[in-house]
């Protein structure tokens, strides 16, 4: 590619991606930061650079094909030279990936075809998807969504699939909601697990949603297996209220294990009066009393 400096650096040449719906034009203020949950592919370019101009139509194709799985951005180094220097850009185009949970970006050194670039980006998406191979694996998963709630929303998602590898979209979602929603998948041929999830589904893949680790609350996701509808569905569970409202209460439950926010949600949902309740134990005792006496 072209080198920085040598007359080219600083010549204004307009953006190569103006108006493209899939390429995000990045500046220092919206450049992905450390806590970013999406994987980003970023091209650092200069508008006057011939190699960049050749890459642009392919890069737009890449962005369209990665939509919903990986975010694709571009930095015009004529406009944001400091940002490009900060990321060690010495020539154009330079393509890097910013991966959730990894401190430094990864540089692309492969062939600049649309397919090679897309495949590389997809291969970098981190995954928190648990593979369920036995009924014990399912129990372990459900436990993480039950009373102690390692998973803050209380939602376990189980994808029944016949594909041997996890889809990039499902990996991306598991990273996006890491710690909030537990993502898992099971082969449709694993009878022991699939039976407990309502038997073999009519069509694959099939996404099952379980609140609070309680299989009696099992629901089938009916929407499209696409990034937009899936993220809006999962986001509706994210703050934990949806699963908290679905908890089937039983006086034998150990309410001291529940998070205070969940206990407050139960009290609100059930319309239980809790005068003078301030400590976690007050809420837990009041719910137990309400369940036992009915008032």
Placement of tokens 């039983």 in the chain: 250
pLDDT tens string 22-79: 999 999 999 998 889 999 999 999 999 999 999 999 999 999 999 999 999 999 999 9
Q: Average pLDDT of the chain?
A: 93
β-pair type (94-98, 40-45): antiparallel
CA-to-CA dists, residue 291 to 198, 251, 252, angstroms: 30, 6, 10
- Phi, psi torsion values for 278, nearest 5 degrees: -135, -40
CATH 3.40.30.10 occupies which residues in the chain? 2-123, 130-239
Is residue 3 predicted with pLDDT exceeding 60? no
User: For helices 114-123 and 50-66, what crossing angle results, to 10°?
Assistant: 50
Q: What is the pLDDT of residues 133-142, one digit of tens each?
A: 999 999 999 9
**Backbone angle region of 178, left / alpha / beta, with phi > 0 → left and psi within -120 to 50 → alpha:** beta
Displacement of CA 143 from its chain's centroid (Å)? 21
Number of Cβ atoms within 10 Å of the Cβ of 245: 13
Taking residues 158-180, report their average pLDDT.
97
CA distance 108 to 87: 13
Residue 171 · residue 127 · CB < 8 Å:
yes
Residue 11 has pLDDT above 50, yes or no: no
Question: What does the angle CA 129 – CA 130 – CA 133 come to, to the nearest 5 degrees?
Answer: 140
Across residues 100-127, what is the average pLDDT? Answer: 97
In this structure, the chain runs to a length of 295
pLDDT of residue 7: 40
Judged against a pLDDT cut of 80, whether residue 156 lies above it is answered with yes
Q: Which CATH class is domain 130-239?
A: alpha beta
Structure tokens at 277: 């309740």
Mean per-residue pLDDT, 145-150: 80
220 touches 206 (CB < 8 A): yes
pLDDT of residue 258: 86
Token pair of 18 as six digits: 């103006």
* Location of structure tokens 């509808």: 229
Q: Which two tokens stand for residue 259?
A: 């998070």
The whole-number average pLDDT for the span 232-246 is 94
Class (C level, CATH) for 2-123: alpha beta
Count of beta carbons in the 10 Å neighbourhood of residue 88: 12
261 confidence band (pLDDT: 50, 70, 90): confident
Q: Check residue 5 and give its pLDDT.
A: 43
Half-sphere exposure for 130 (CA within 13 Å, toward CB): 20
Per-residue confidence (pLDDT) for residue 147, from 0 to 100:
67
Is 244:214 a contact under the CB 8 Å cutoff? Answer: no
């Amino acid at each position: 590619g072209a080198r920085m400096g040598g007359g080219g650096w600083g010549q204004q040449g307009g953006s190569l991606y103006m108006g493209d719906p899939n390429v995000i034009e990045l500046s220092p203020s919206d450049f992905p930061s450390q806590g970013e949950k999406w994987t980003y592919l970023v091209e650092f370019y200069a508008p006057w650079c011939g190699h960049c101009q050749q890459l642009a139509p392919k890069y737009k194709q890449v962005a369209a094909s990665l939509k919903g799985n990986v975010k694709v951005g571009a930095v015009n180094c004529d406009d944001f030279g400091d940002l490009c220097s900060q990321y060690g850009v010495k020539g154009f185009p330079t393509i890097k990936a910013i991966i959730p949970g990894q401190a430094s970006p990864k540089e692309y050194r492969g062939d600049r075809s649309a397919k090679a670039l897309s495949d590389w980006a997809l291969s970098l998406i981190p995954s928190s998807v648990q593979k369920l191979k036995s009924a014990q694996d399912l129990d372990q998963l459900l436990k993480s969504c039950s009373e102690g709630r390692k998973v803050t929303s209380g939602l376990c998602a189980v994808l029944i699939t016949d594909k041997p590898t996890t889809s990039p979209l499902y990996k991306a979602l598991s990273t996006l909601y890491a710690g909030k929603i537990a993502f898992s998948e099971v082969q449709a041929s694993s009878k022991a697990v699939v039976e407990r999830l309502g038997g073999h589904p009519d069509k694959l893949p099939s996404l099952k949603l379980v609140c609070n680790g309680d299989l009696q609350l099992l629901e089938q996701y009916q929407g499209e297996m696409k990034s937009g509808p899936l993220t809006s569905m999962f986001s509706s569970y994210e703050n934990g209220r949806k699963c908290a409202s679905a908890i089937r209460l039983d006086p034998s439950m150990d309410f001291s294990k529940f998070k205070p926010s969940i206990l407050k949600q139960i009290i609100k949902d059930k319309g239980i009066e809790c005068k003078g309740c301030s400590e976690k134990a007050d809420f837990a005792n009041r719910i137990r009393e309400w369940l036992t006496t009915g008032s």
